[in-house]
Amino acid sequence: MTITINQITSGMGLRVDNNIYVVADYSHVKPGKGSAFVRVKLKNLKSGLVIERTFKSSEKLDDIFLEDRILQFLYRSGKSLHLMDQSTFEEQIVSEDLMGNDIKYLQDNLDVTGHVYEGQVLKISLPNFIKTQIVETEPGVKGDSARAGTKPAKIDSGADIQVPLFIGNEEWIKVDTRTGTYVERVRK
């Protein structure tokens, strides 16, 4: 569907130069001289790169319908991920490349968001926070406080993160998947 620059909103999908982007931010500019234009920050769905483009008021843009679906991770087979669509209960098989570096936080039965265009999953996003269990770290020592420092730990998904000194093996913690940092201790 073709749209004008006045119809641009945050979060909508656009096809620009045969790539699919999501509008991250936009601002309409009406200079004193000349015609109006819009400055748009676009995030490439496949690569994750953010670019800035300027569109004149006379330009027409390709609006595309992007659907976000909840997918449950089932298992990994080679370089493929097997996911179940929570609305249709159909199995989707996608390449693990769609997750990029986030793959290290992928847990069994974790619900993720699949960004879908014309039935094809283009990108998979993790939830912002996950509950995970410490599987390997140095033992915590009584008296160590949260401000004393950090130590390396391996979580159940296989990722290595830094945790406070008082965290021990088999404890449950909350991890921010955007930054890969420890947030807090949690109960299972």
Here the CATH number for the domain that contains residue 16 is 2.30.30.30
Within this chain, do residues 154 and 171 fall inside the same structural domain, yes or no?
yes
Within this chain, do residues 12 and 51 fall inside the same structural domain, yes or no?
yes
CA dihedral 31, 12, 179, 103 (to 10 degrees): -140
Domain boundary among 75, 90, 125: 125
Within this chain, do residues 135 and 96 fall inside the same structural domain, yes or no?
no
Within this chain, do residues 136 and 181 fall inside the same structural domain, yes or no?
yes
pTM: 0.75
Mean pLDDT of 13-23: 88
- Rounded distance, CA 183 to CA 72, Å? 24
Using 50, 70 and 90 to split pLDDT, how confident is the model at 131?
A: very high
What is the tally of structural domains in the chain? 3
Domain boundary among 64, 86, 103: 64
Here the CATH number for the domain that contains residue 148 is 2.40.50.140
Helix (H, G, I), strand (E, B) or coil at 182: strand
Within this chain, do residues 99 and 120 fall inside the same structural domain, yes or no?
yes
Mean pLDDT of 132-137: 92
Does residue 20 surpass a pLDDT of 80? yes
> In this predicted structure, what is the pLDDT of residue 143?
61
Within this chain, do residues 49 and 38 fall inside the same structural domain, yes or no?
yes
- Rounded distance, CA 166 to CA 151, Å? 9
Domain boundary among 43, 64, 85: 64
Distance (Å) of CA 45 to CA 4, 51, 73, 110: 22, 12, 20, 21
Within this chain, do residues 112 and 135 fall inside the same structural domain, yes or no?
no
**Domain residue limits at 37:** 2-64
